[in-house]
């Protein structure tokens, strides 16, 4: 059975969205469905087109609600529809709100992006090459898979460590601080806006820590 990952597409140009849907569905296979990279033969990427909303807060909420595994964002985002944010500003907001969430940027203005924006070059790909070249498509799609796997593994490790530490809450300041740190990371990986900052949490006494992290218990139980 194939492992399925849902990939959000954020672009205001419908013709580009249509092309991206085709390339994402191909995953790391050729046009006949034969694996180009055997390592990724058992993965399926499912493209999900997202509506372009008025502000970044609404866009983040849409991504959270659709339970996506990663997103690909167009750099400009305003060639067809006027919005107040660029693809990179949206990507940066997502990085702040969703800790470790896989985000990639596609652009036809690669030099312009690096001249005017600070963004990780590992996460930026050329749109024309992604559409036209198998090598570029497989490179991006394989990075999507690897970043999703990494993010999921990190979240699972945090949850497992939380489960092991919860019975020891109040045992020592070191244990409680680690619980608070894991709590914040887990909350931020789901929806950073809902996270309680570590300094505020540290204002609670140790015997109240189980009440403080009840949200994390619910998250673990729901998985």
Q: What is the pLDDT of residue 142?
A: 96
According to DSSP, residue 84 is labeled: S
- Tens-digit pLDDT profile for residues 144-168: 999 999 999 998 898 889 889 888 8
User: Considering the domain 3-150 in this protein, what is its CATH number?
Assistant: 3.40.50.2300
Q: What is the pLDDT of residue 215?
A: 57
Place of tokens 């608070």: 180
| Structure tokens belonging to residue 76 | 């400009």
Each domain of the chain, given as residue ranges in start order, spans 3-150, 169-222
What residues contact 34, with CB distance under 8 A and at least 6 apart?
none
Helix axes 14-26, 134-165, angle to 10 degrees: 70
Q: What is the pLDDT of residue 116?
A: 47
Residue 207 has pLDDT above 80, yes or no: no
What is the rounded CA–CA span in Å between residue 193 and residue 72?
A: 21
| Structure tokens belonging to residue 39 | 């390592």
What is the rounded CA–CA span in Å between residue 93 and residue 173?
A: 32
What is the rounded CA–CA span in Å between residue 179 and residue 7?
A: 31
- Tens-digit pLDDT profile for residues 102-152: 999 888 755 454 444 545 555 788 899 999 999 999 999 999 999 999 999
**The whole model's pTM is what?**
0.80
């Amino acid at each position: 059975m194939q492992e399925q990952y849902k990939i959000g597409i954020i672009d205001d140009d419908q013709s580009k969205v249509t092309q991206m849907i085709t390339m994402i569905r191909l995953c790391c296979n050729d046009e006949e469905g034969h694996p180009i990279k055997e390592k990724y033969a058992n993965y399926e990427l499912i493209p999900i087109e997202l509506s372009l909303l008025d502000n970044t807060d609404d866009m983040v909420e849409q991504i959270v609600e659709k339970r996506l595994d990663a997103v690909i964002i167009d750099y400009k985002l305003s060639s067809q529809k006027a919005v107040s944010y660029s693809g990179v500003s949206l990507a940066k907001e997502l990085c702040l709100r969703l800790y470790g969430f896989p985000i990639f940027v596609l652009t036809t203005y690669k030099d312009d992006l690096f001249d005017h924006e600070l963004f990780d070059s590992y996460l930026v790909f050329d749109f024309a090459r992604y559409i036209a070249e198998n090598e570029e498509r497989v490179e991006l799609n394989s990075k999507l898979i690897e970043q999703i796997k990494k993010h999921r593994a990190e979240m699972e490790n945090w949850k497992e460590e939380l489960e092991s530490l919860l019975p020891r809450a109040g045992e020592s300041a070191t244990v409680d601080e680690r619980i608070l740190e894991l709590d914040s990371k887990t909350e931020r990986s789901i929806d950073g806006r809902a996270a309680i900052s570590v300094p505020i949490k540290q204002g609670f006494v140790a015997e109240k820590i189980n009440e403080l992290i009840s949200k994390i218990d619910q998250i673990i139980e729901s998985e």
